[in-house]
Amino acid sequence: MTAAPTTVGGVAPQTVTRSGFELFWLRFKEDRAALLGAGTIGVLIVIAIFGGPIASAVTGHPNTEQYQQIMQDSFGLPKGPTSAFWFGSDGEARDLFVRTMYGARTSLIVGVVASGIAVLIGLVVGMIAGFYRGIVDTILSRTGDVMLAMPQLLISIGIVAACSSNKNGCVIAGPIAIQPGLALVIAVIVIFSWPYIARLVRGFTLSIREKEFVEASRSLGASDTRIIFREILPNLSGPIIVYTTLLIPQSILFEAALSYLGLGVPPDTASWGGLLNDAQRYYDTAWWLMFFPGLFLVITTLAFNLLGDGLRDALDVRAER
Amino acid sequence: MLLYLARRLLWTILVVLVVMFVTFLVFFKLPNGDPALRFAGKSPTTASLAEIHKRLHLDKPFYVEYGYFVKNFAVGDDQGWPGLGYSYGNYVSVRSEILERAPRTLFLVAGAATLWLIFGVAIGVLSAVKRRTWIDRVAMGFALFGISAPVFWLGLMSLFVVWKKLGLTGGSGYVPLSDGIGAWFSHMILPWTVLALLYIAIYARLTRNNLLETLGEDYIRTARAKGLSERTVIFKHGLRASLSPIATIFGLDIALLVGGAIITESVFNIQGLGWLAFNGAITQDLPSVLGVVICTATAVAVMNLVVDVVYAFLDPRVRYA
């Protein structure tokens, strides 16, 4: 087992010093699934930015224009794909292709913004709880536990339904009010996602703060703030990157689920979940209405999950118990 | 053991009370508009509104009303114990409403849970044993698809393909057992499969990871060195230890679906507890929502206890003192 280092022809084996990023990249570039995920996400970002307007320009069909004359039959049912309407029409006789392209924007905005805010809150709470421990930890962790024990979808439905019944949204406290629409959906996702991140960050912080380099830094007279920002935070970057990547598809699915239940973004805003809500009404006839938006939804979440799994392997992140 | 149970029970009751309180707060404080208006008929008078306010305790601050609610729940109301009050929507007793809908949800969850436990664990074991072969890759690819594909999309697509196009199963809607076991089964098979798919994916990934980790332990090497067959090593030594974490989430997953299978029940129009809660949430029918939340919370508490007992059975190191 403990063989002496072999020397071939009297030449000692070369040891190359590699930076953390080089090590990551060496592993990551071999992971074809993860690269595929990353590439797909790149394409989706392009679609989210330019896809809607380009689709409108190519087909000549504006996003919210209704084509009752051509795209609805005499019963008012939507018609399927034609050469002019590539994906057919949605429940309101709009061009489904154009709507689906615009839907990418909604999904990615909600996914990225909600995950970003949730990670930021979770990071702060988790680091404080893990670093200071004691009563602060107990309060923050128990709050998180109770949040995770909530019937999340149900409470979200309740909040969205209550806040959407009125144009001004609902007043949380004084001037802080949540307006119905995209912001409300993002807020609801954040409320139920941050405890998950906070719990993970707390676990990592607890183990990092016991490491020798933190002790060394402390013995050099570093303040708590310096230790948190210069010693602990950089070491959290791996887990943060991985779990943000894995939280994004969850957020996208949550928005889609709310929109599917008719409670997500306003009906005029194109959203894949909203289109699937339409599909629910015509589920025994209009296959295109469920197929195309759902396909884009699955490709998107699959791409983020592939990338997240790949990043986890390449960055060697494991959840601390 | 008794002390342990008592402590567990107290913590559970506390969590249930907090969850109920937050639910109460969300649904009582957030909505605009007076629930009494719904009871007061077409032309409400100030007197009749005041009378309804008094009957529903709406004239008191919310914490007093919450107190009434808990008291009613603990002591019982004119419908017997536990007192859950009347729906704001149609003034039907919430208790009878829940009793009517519970069997649908329980059948749905029980069938799906059976499927996902069997297939999830089987696929996970297969994948771990055949690690890095094409079998492993196909299985994990399938699992990744399972966690990426939203239930409402799979549900709509499966209804369209399997029921509408192929005519293999019953369509949406719930058929009670009393209408014949065949009809009941043919309407349940699609919801079971679609609901189970997500969990099969999660459990397969979890089983694979746990089993691979366990198989790397020293005692597995000892077992192999003793000359035990590979089958005994994997199933008796490896799988048993890696099943403990699965038992934990299995109990919780089942419990959360009691009242949490909102999307599945909505896609297949099953109208169980999740549907009742969803309907209550969008019509701001607080008593119905609370009734279902209590069911879910109770299920979570009971399942947690069951899991603890199963734990001791699966893992001989666990003792309760």
Over the stretch A66-108, which tens digit does the pLDDT of each residue have? 887 777 777 778 888 888 888 888 877 788 898 999 999 999 9
Best of B18, B32, B132, B152 to mutate (most A CBs within 10 Å, chain A): B152
* Distance of alpha carbon B159 from alpha carbon B267, whole angstroms: 9
Contact A45, A101 (CB under 8 A): no
Please give the pLDDT value at position A149.
Answer: 75
| Contact call for A155 and B23, based on CB within 8 A | yes
Domain ranges of chain A: 38-313
The chain-wide mean pLDDT, for chain B, equals 84
* Distance of alpha carbon A313 from alpha carbon A305, whole angstroms: 12
B117-131, B215-229, B268-282, B306-320: segment of lowest average pLDDT:
B306-320
Q: Any CB–CB contact under 8 A between A241 and chain B?
A: no
CA count, 13 A, side-chain hemisphere, A81 = 10
Please give the pLDDT value at position A12.
Answer: 66
Which residue numbers of B have CB closer than 8 Å to A's CBs? 15, 18-19, 22-23, 26-27, 30-33, 144-145, 147-150, 152-153, 156-157, 159-160, 164, 171-172, 256, 259-260, 262-263, 266-267, 277-278, 281-282, 284, 289, 292-293, 296-297, 300
Which amino acid makes up residue A133?
A: R
CA count, 13 A, side-chain hemisphere, B50 = 3
A2-11, A64-73, B252-261, B291-300: segment of lowest average pLDDT:
A2-11
Residue B59 domain flag: no
Chain A hits for B286, CB-CB cut-off 8 Å, are none
What confidence tier does A10 reach under pLDDT thresholds 50, 70, 90? Answer: low
> CA separation (Å) from B19 to A145, A190, B3, B13, B310?
11, 18, 24, 10, 26
> Closest approach of chain B CAs to the CA of A14, in angstroms?
30
> Closest approach of chain A CAs to the CA of B298, in angstroms?
12
Chain A hits for B22, CB-CB cut-off 8 Å, are 146, 150, 155
Which amino acid makes up residue B93?
A: S
Tell me which of B288 and B56 has the higher pLDDT.
B288
Residue A178 pairs in a beta bridge with A170
| Contact call for B26 and A155, based on CB within 8 A | yes
Per DSSP, the three-state class of A46 is helix
Residue B282 domain flag: yes
Q: What single DSSP character describes residue A85? A: S
> Closest approach of chain B CAs to the CA of A154, in angstroms?
7
Burial of residue B180 (CB within 10 Å: 0-12, 13-18, 19+) is exposed
| Contact call for B27 and A263, based on CB within 8 A | no
> What is the architecture of the domain spanning A38-313?
Orthogonal Bundle (1.10)
Residue B51 domain flag: no
Q: Any CB–CB contact under 8 A between A297 and chain B?
A: yes
Per DSSP, the three-state class of B252 is helix
Q: Any CB–CB contact under 8 A between A138 and chain B?
A: no
* Distance of alpha carbon B169 from alpha carbon A297, whole angstroms: 26
Please give the pLDDT value at position A321.
Answer: 38
Task: For B92-151, write each residue's pLDDT tens digit.
Answer: 888 888 999 999 999 999 999 999 999 999 999 999 999 989 999 999 999 999 999 999
Which amino acid makes up residue B289?
A: V
| Contact call for B157 and A276, based on CB within 8 A | no
Best of A283, A285, A296, A305 to mutate (most B CBs within 10 Å, chain B): A283
From chain A residues 150-209, the ones with a CB under 8 A of any chain B CB are 150-151, 153-155, 157-159, 161-163, 165-166, 170
Element (H, E) at A178: strand A176-178
What confidence tier does B289 reach under pLDDT thresholds 50, 70, 90? Answer: confident
> CA separation (Å) from B292 to A192, A268, A299, B207?
19, 32, 34, 31
Best of B17, B22, B26, B30 to mutate (most A CBs within 10 Å, chain A): B30
Which amino acid makes up residue B190?
A: L
> CA separation (Å) from A39 to A51, B138, B241?
16, 21, 39
Domain with residue B290: its CATH number is 1.10.3720.10
* Distance of alpha carbon A33 from alpha carbon A314, whole angstroms: 12
Residue B47 domain flag: no
Q: Is A88 left (phi over 0), alpha (psi -120 to 50) or beta?
A: left
Residue B87 domain flag: no
Task: For A154-175, write each residue's pLDDT tens digit.
Answer: 888 888 887 776 666 666 655 6
* pLDDT(A141) > 60: yes
Chain B hits for A279, CB-CB cut-off 8 Å, are 156
Which amino acid makes up residue A38?
A: A
**Which structural domain, as residue segments, surrounds residue B162?**
95-314
| Contact call for A146 and B160, based on CB within 8 A | no
The chain-wide mean pLDDT, for chain A, equals 85
* Distance of alpha carbon B99 from alpha carbon B66, whole angstroms: 23
* pLDDT(B72) > 80: no
Total domains present in chain B: 1
- Rounded to the nearest 10 degrees, the angle between the axes of helix A134-149 and helix B2-29 is 70
* Distance of alpha carbon B162 from alpha carbon B150, whole angstroms: 18
Q: Any CB–CB contact under 8 A between A54 and chain B?
A: no
| Contact call for B27 and A153, based on CB within 8 A | no
Residue B45 domain flag: no
Q: What single DSSP character describes residue B61? A: -
Candidate ranges A160-169, A211-220, A310-319; pick with highest mean pLDDT: A211-220
What confidence tier does B204 reach under pLDDT thresholds 50, 70, 90? Answer: very high
Q: What is the mean pLDDT of residues A48-53?
A: 90
The three-point CA angle A291-A292-A294 to 5° equals 70
Contact B238, B220 (CB under 8 A): yes
Residues in Cβ contact with B247 at an 8 Å cutoff, skipping those fewer than 6 apart = B307, B310, B311, B314
Please give the pLDDT value at position A320.
Answer: 46
What confidence tier does A1 reach under pLDDT thresholds 50, 70, 90? Answer: very low
- Give the residue on B whose Cα is nearest the Cα of A306: B144
Residue B67 domain flag: no
Two structure tokens written together for B177: 């057992």
* Structure-token match 């309907």, residue found: B279
Q: What single DSSP character describes residue A19? A: -
* Distance of alpha carbon A127 from alpha carbon A209, whole angstroms: 10
Q: Any CB–CB contact under 8 A between A282 and chain B?
A: no
Residue B179 domain flag: yes
pLDDT > 90: percent of chain A: 39
H helix intervals, chain A: 20-28, 32-46, 52-59, 68-71, 96-132, 134-149, 152-164, 182-208, 212-219, 224-226, 233-260, 272-281, 287-315
Which amino acid makes up residue A5?
A: P
A269-283, B40-54, B162-176: segment of lowest average pLDDT:
B40-54
Please give the pLDDT value at position B205.
Answer: 92
